[in-house]
Amino acid sequence: MSKLLKGGAFVADTFTPVADDAALPDGPALISLARFEKDRAQLLARNAPLGVRLKAEENPSRIREDVNHLSLVVLEFPKFRDGRAFSWARMLRTRFGFKGEIRAVGDFLFDQINYQHRVGFDAWEVPDNFTVEDFKRALTEMTNVYQPSADGRKTIRELRAAR
């Protein structure tokens, strides 16, 4: 089982996951990229929030033209060693200007949450034993950063150069 962490607190997930061959609910729906590409016009015409779930191998450039119509993009981590979702989140935020929710799901580690947040993730599906205190600790463990990212924090190199 998992629970949804957003804004530093556990929240109810308002999006209903919908199978590719199932009817859409009246409210917020979460669909696969395949379903989105197949039924794009119909889905964008709905008057309800829409989310798309991308597998690790599915590049978000495939939804680039429609990100302003989406409320949620779910990015999967199939294994903690697979970091493609980090790149996809940063791409969504910095290149495509996506303002909606980017949610991390799958096999990621506590140590990766800080960088996930830095590249644009703002929601996480976490195991039941994960606490808000764990999350807050994950976000504050790194006081200085080496990599530039979507959060605009100055890197160690930039801080040294400013002395």
Least confident of 7-21, 62-76, 97-111, 146-160: 146-160
Q: How many domains does the chain have?
A: 1
pLDDT greater than 90 at residue 62: yes
Task: State the pairing for strand pair 9-11/2-6.
Answer: antiparallel
Across 28-54, b (16+ Cβ under 10 Å) vs e yields: bbbbbbebbeeeeeebeeeeebbbbbb
* Residue carrying the six token digits 């910095």: 94
Contact predicate 102/118, CB 8 Å: no
pLDDT greater than 80 at residue 87: yes
Whole-angstrom distance, CA of residue 126 vs CA of residue 6: 11
Nearest to 132 by CA among 1, 2, 3, 5: 5
Q: How confident is the model at residue 15 (pLDDT cuts 50, 70, 90)?
A: very high
Structural domain that includes position 36: 2-161
Whole-angstrom distance, CA of residue 30 vs CA of residue 48: 11
pLDDT greater than 70 at residue 146: no
